């Protein structure tokens, strides 16, 4: 059955950029230590066994010391060097699928923003930076109080991650 339902939602989002210090490689390494890769094999095993959801929650809690895992990493440096660009950048899809599920149950379209997209980058003569969109702005666009509440929780988790990494926490993440 084809649905004729369509919707347009306009919303604004705060894009946050935080100075991460002079050494891009060092910051990227600390970020990847704090946000480790998704343990694919273990997740696959849980799915294969049709394990109870609590097993997934326990796995992610053990694997993600700061609440987030890296699902994908895209280092664009080798490609953009071919064009002569000197800036460096790595994009990450990072998140926590047990948190995502708490929104997904209300509206699967939250997958537009979960996992979160972060970028660690540096201009040749500037400091390293981390840039990301404020999670609660993205998830509030669904106009569902349960989804919005989880978005605010993600703001606080991002603030805690930045603090752990020794960075300034933008006031926008503290609000709400």
Pull the structure tokens for residue 91: 């994009």
Residue 7's pLDDT band (boundaries 50, 70, 90)? confident
Kindly report the backbone phi and psi dihedral angles of residue 34, in degrees, each rounded to the nearest multiple of 5, phi listed first: -75, -30
Are the C-beta atoms of residues 42 and 55 closer than 8 Å to each other?
no
Provide the whole-model pTM.
Answer: 0.93
- DSSP letter at 126 equals S
Work out the percent of the chain whose per-residue pLDDT is above 90: 92
pLDDT at 176: 58
> Averaged over 120-129, what is the pLDDT?
96
Pull the structure tokens for residue 148: 């919005």
Task: List, for residues 146-160, the tens digit of each pLDDT value.
Answer: 999 999 999 999 999
Pick the CATH number of 15-169 from 3.20.20.300, 3.30.310.70, 1.20.1050.10, 3.40.640.10: 3.30.310.70
> Averaged over 111-124, what is the pLDDT?
97
Are the C-beta atoms of residues 98 and 82 closer than 8 Å to each other?
no
Give the domain ranges of the chain: 15-169
SS3 content of the chain, % helix, strand, coil (to 5): 45, 20, 35
């Amino acid at each position: 059955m084809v649905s004729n339902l369509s919707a347009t939602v306009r919303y604004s989002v705060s894009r946050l950029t935080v100075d991460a210090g002079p050494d891009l490689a060092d910051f990227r390494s600390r970020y990847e230590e704090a946000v480790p890769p998704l343990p694919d094999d273990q997740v696959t095993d849980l799915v294969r066994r049709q394990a109870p959801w609590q097993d997934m929650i326990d796995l992610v809690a053990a694997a993600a010391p700061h609440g987030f895992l890296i699902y994908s990493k895209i280092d664009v440096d080798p490609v953009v060097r071919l064009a002569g660009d000197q800036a460096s950048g790595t994009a990450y899809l990072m998140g926590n699928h047990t948190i995502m599920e708490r929104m997904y149950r209300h509206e699967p379209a939250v997958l537009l923003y979960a996992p979160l997209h972060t970028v660690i980058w540096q201009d040749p003569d500037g400091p390293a930076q981390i840039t990301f969109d404020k999670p609660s702005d993205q998830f509030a666009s669904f106009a569902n109080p349960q989804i919005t509440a989880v978005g605010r929780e993600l703001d606080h988790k991002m603030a805690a991650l930045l603090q752990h990494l020794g960075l300034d926490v933008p006031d926008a993440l503290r609000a709400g």
